A = this chain, B = another copy of it.
Amino acid sequence: MLSDCEKAITYRKSIRHFKEQDVDIEVVYSVIEAARWAPSGLNNQPWRFAIVKSREVKEKIANLSHYKRIFLEAPVLIPFFIDKNSIYDREKDLMGVGAAVENMLLKIHHLNLGGVWLGEILKAKEEVEKILEVSDNYEFLGIVAFGYPNEKDDKPRKRKDLTELIIREIL
Contact = CB atoms under 8 A, between A and B. Distances in A.
A166 B39 contact: no
A107 B6 contact: yes
Contacts of A29: 162, 166
Nearest to A56: B170
Contacts of A5: 4-5, 7-8, 106-107, 110
A132 interface: yes
Nearest to A133: B168
Contact of A36 (B25, B38, B92, B162): B162
A47 B98 contact: no
A14 interface: yes
Interface string A54-67: 10010000000000
